Chain A
Amino acid sequence: MIELNRRSVLRGAVGWAAAGTIASPFIAHAQAKTATVLWVQGFVKEEDEAFKNLVAAYEKASGNKIQASIIPFGPAMQKIVAGLTSGDTPDVMFHDIADQAVVPQNTWNDKLIDVSDVVETQKDHFHPTALLASKYYNNVTKQRGYTYVPLKAAVLPIHVWGSMVEKAGFKLSDAPKNWDAFWDFFKPMQKKLREKQRGVYVHGLQPTTNGPADGNNTFHHFLIANGGNGIVTPDGQPHLDDPQVKEAVIKALTYISTSYKEGYVPPGALSWSDADDNNAFHAKQIVMDLDGTISTEVAMYHEKEKYNDVVTMKLPNDNAGQPMKAELGIAGAFIAKTAKNVPVAKDFLKYAIQPEVVNTYLKTGLGRWLPPMPEVVKKDPFWLKEDPHRTAYTTEALIDPTVPNYPCFNPGYAEVNAQQVWGIAVADIVKEGMTAQAAADKALKRIGTVLAKYPVAKA
């Protein structure tokens, strides 16, 4: 453990040194040298350390000053929302779920600055999905443009307690390759495990409405696995009447609600917060969990026995047997039109997205988030070779096919997510006794109403 730490510290130092030399061409000596930055707090201490290092390195290399406030996830979102509405904003704002919750609507309302000059500097390095997720539609100019600078990427891998699967008398290597079958594979384990432990469940499914993120993410993966990815297309058009989409919605709702009704999902999952599934998993109350980032594993980083007991798996194929497209979440930064020091803000971001800098930054944060740049992870053994959890996670995110979150295509979908339409649809089935068909119709109708407020012009 100590060894690992020392090694990572050393690696970090080397990385920063390298980054510093590459960075110098970008440094602009703007007159006002200070920019204010709002950054979201990490889930582990190391992430905040990594950010402080990043700021220090930038200040040293550029001579500019960064006034950073690191703010927890929830309050950070509130500050950003309130700041954008009232016009009092820091120069740079960064949030883990800005691609789903802030940037789409605010680009739509023409409140963000075009950052194409920042993104362009690394355009060749960014993953295509990351690039897709940095372009948003502006309803004033009626055009799509870069308003979001990708810095970190994440997907939802599957986390499994290896020992629990074994205890139930199964082998993970026997797990089927297709989506529904893969999930079904765990069902018989429940009876076996219940013989020894009260209240154990196999499926960490999260049909929750408490969000902000997990409930929607879970559903979208089932939707994609059933071929419903076309619900909103990259041109921003919804396809809610498309029979294929509708069928996928019904199938996805059916699988989740049936598993819930059959008792494979903890009943509390309906109102889980984003942390509750991790808690249930850590307490070994669920055998497996589909959940964003490898925070589940990283939280146990210092308890090696448990850490090694968890198997991190990339997603199985979809139900048609094709490689599954995972939703690639992009955490990034953006600049409001009300920012006071745009040159330094942009300069800081240009510095931060250099491949070496991103790599060092995210490695110091224990690899919970990935660089949105395939080359970087292929070059550095840290991502694909050194740790089985990271290997599976990185492969799913940057090697296998991915799609961006739907709000990138249509800002109305951010509101759909916030309204937790899918969680409510599952609840309609399991609580109100609706048929999957009726719940799907209701949800799609609701989505139609919301998206109607955001007509994206066809290019």
Chain B
Amino acid sequence: MSVAVADARIATVSPASAERGRQARRVRRWKSVGAAGIAVLLLIWTLVPIYNIVMVALESKGDVFTNTIWPDAPSLDSFWIVITQGYWYLEHFWEQFGNSLYIGVGTVFFTLAIGSLASFAIGRMRIRYGWLLSNAALLTYVIPASFLAIPFYRIMQIYGLTDNLWSVIAAEVTFATPYAIFIFHQYGVSIPIELDEAARIDGASPGQVYWKIYLPLMAPALVAVGTYALLLAWNEYLYQFLLLSSKESMSVPVALAQFFNSDEAPWNYMMATAIVYSIPPVAIYYTFRRRMAAGLTMGGVKG
């Protein structure tokens, strides 16, 4: 009886489920075809401008203006010129690269330092006017950098910081710190407050709590924000262009823009320079990608 019932059930179910299975397979196949299609489109979309950069860098000077879609005689000469500073505009290239690095490292350091100190005071010590500070930070966060550029330029003259790498660091830190305070604040919520309290009962000063407990536990957020700040400093052009002007103090983006000054435009050198310049941020992004995602995901969606 029971067997028969079971059989019957199987008998009734099976054609339908087979049909459903086939349908599901068909749907899955179409889905993967669709996914592959999207993937191809995305690849083209993402890579074409980058391909163009590489192509120009591999061309010889005259070829840039020809009608080819791949250089007739691709060569790495442009890269060699860049590395050996073999062209007039590039004679300070490594110095300028060093300047970019200096700006990047300075920005990361001060963003992390100022941001973590402030967020510790706001989030952990819960100072009375903390909300004012976080609102002020928010206010900066939402002012587009380019809107402050003109007054900023003149402020820097008043501070006597024109053509000085520190003026750029100040600008980048100004725009990276609010973001840092946000991330730190959100991330900090996940660190049990009891740790602070216990340490405090043991007689630790706020400075010790910050240094020994808060910072080590904040490591993932520090990495995420640090990467963000570095990319910001590396990507930014307007402030560096306005604030730095002599060849010795220029950063690489400003030096790149020099190529527009002249009547002669060796654009293959320019693009080779751009590629060399792109390597550090891309490498750093890929190195810290996972941690960065972790830092960004913390909190993720709430409500």
Contacts and interface: CB of A to CB of B under 8 A. Distances in A.
A279 B158 CA distance: 40
Contacts of A285: 65
Interface string B94-115: 0000000000000000000000
A71 interface: yes
A282 B62 CA distance: 8
Contact of A70 (B62, B246, B263): B246
Interface in B226-285: 241-242, 245-247, 254, 257-258, 260-265
Contacts of A79: 162, 245
B245 A279 contact: no
B98 to A, nearest CB: 19
Contact of A86 (B65, B88, B154): B154
A279 B260 CA distance: 11
Contact of B88 (A45, A74, A85): A45
B191 to A, nearest CB: 46
Nearest to B247: A70
Nearest to B258: A72
Given A74-B260, A275-B262, A82 B67 contact: no
A76 interface: yes
Contacts of A273: 260
B66 interface: yes
Contacts of A401: none
Given A69-B246, A82-B153, A85-B154, A198 B67 contact: yes
B157 interface: yes
B263 A278 contact: yes
B262 A71 contact: no
Chain A's interface size range is 20 to 34
A69 B65 contact: no
Given A295-B263, A299-B263, A69 B157 contact: no
A74 B246 contact: no
B235 to A, nearest CB: 19
Given A69-B245, A74-B260, A78-B242, A279 B157 contact: no
Contact of A41 (B62, B162, B261, B263): B261
Interface string A82-122: 11011010000000000000000000000000000000000
A448 B221 CA distance: 59
Chain B CB within 10 Å — which of A79, A85, A278 has the most? A79
A72 B157 contact: no
B162 to A, nearest CB: 8
A322 B125 CA distance: 84
B84 to A, nearest CB: 16
Given A85-B154, A283-B65, A275 B263 contact: yes
B172 interface: no
A315 to B, nearest CB: 19
Given A75-B241, A283-B66, A88 B263 contact: no
Contacts of A70: 246-247
A454 interface: no
Contacts of A199: 67
Nearest to A74: B261
Interface residues of B, number: 26
B157 A275 contact: no
B196 interface: no
Nearest to B242: A78
Contacts of B163: 69
Contact of B157 (A45, A82, A295): A82
A88 B67 contact: no
A74 B245 CA distance: 10
A185 interface: no
A274 interface: yes
Contacts of B67: 198-199
B241 A279 contact: no
A280 interface: yes
Nearest to B257: A74
B157 A83 contact: yes
A108 B64 CA distance: 45
Interface in A261-305: 273-275, 278-280, 282-283, 285, 293, 295-296, 299
Contacts of A198: 67
Nearest to A45: B88
Chain B CB within 10 Å — which of A71, A72, A285, A295 has the most? A72
Contacts of B257: 74
Contacts of B260: 74, 273, 275
Contacts of B66: 283
A75 B158 CA distance: 18
A240 to B, nearest CB: 32
Contact of B246 (A71, A78, A279, A296): A71
A43 interface: yes
A41 B260 CA distance: 12
Given A71-B246, A198-B67, A88 B265 contact: no
B60 to A, nearest CB: 12
A86 B263 contact: no
Interface in A119-146: none
Contacts of A278: 263-265
A73 interface: yes
Contacts of B262: 43-44, 275, 295, 299
Given A78-B242, A82-B153, A279-B65, A43 B263 contact: yes
A75 B62 CA distance: 28
Contacts of B64: 283
Contacts of B246: 69-71
Contact of B245 (A45, A71, A86, A283): A71
Contact of B158 (A45, A88, A293): A88
23 contacts: A43-B264, A69-B246, A72-B245, A74-B257, A75-B241, A75-B242, A75-B254, A76-B245, A78-B242, A79-B162, A79-B245, A82-B153, A83-B157, A86-B154, A86-B157, A88-B157, A198-B67, A199-B67, A273-B260, A274-B263, A282-B62, A282-B264, A285-B65
Interface of B: 62, 64-67, 88, 153-154, 157-158, 162-163, 241-242, 245-247, 254, 257-258, 260-265
In the A-B complex, list the 4 residue pairs whose CB atoms are closest, starting with the nearest: A283-B65, A299-B264, A295-B263, A278-B263
Interface of A: 41, 43-45, 69-76, 78-79, 82-83, 85-86, 88, 198-199, 273-275, 278-280, 282-283, 285, 293, 295-296, 299
Given A44-B264, A72-B258, 5 more contacts: A69-B163, A71-B246, A75-B242, A278-B264, A295-B262
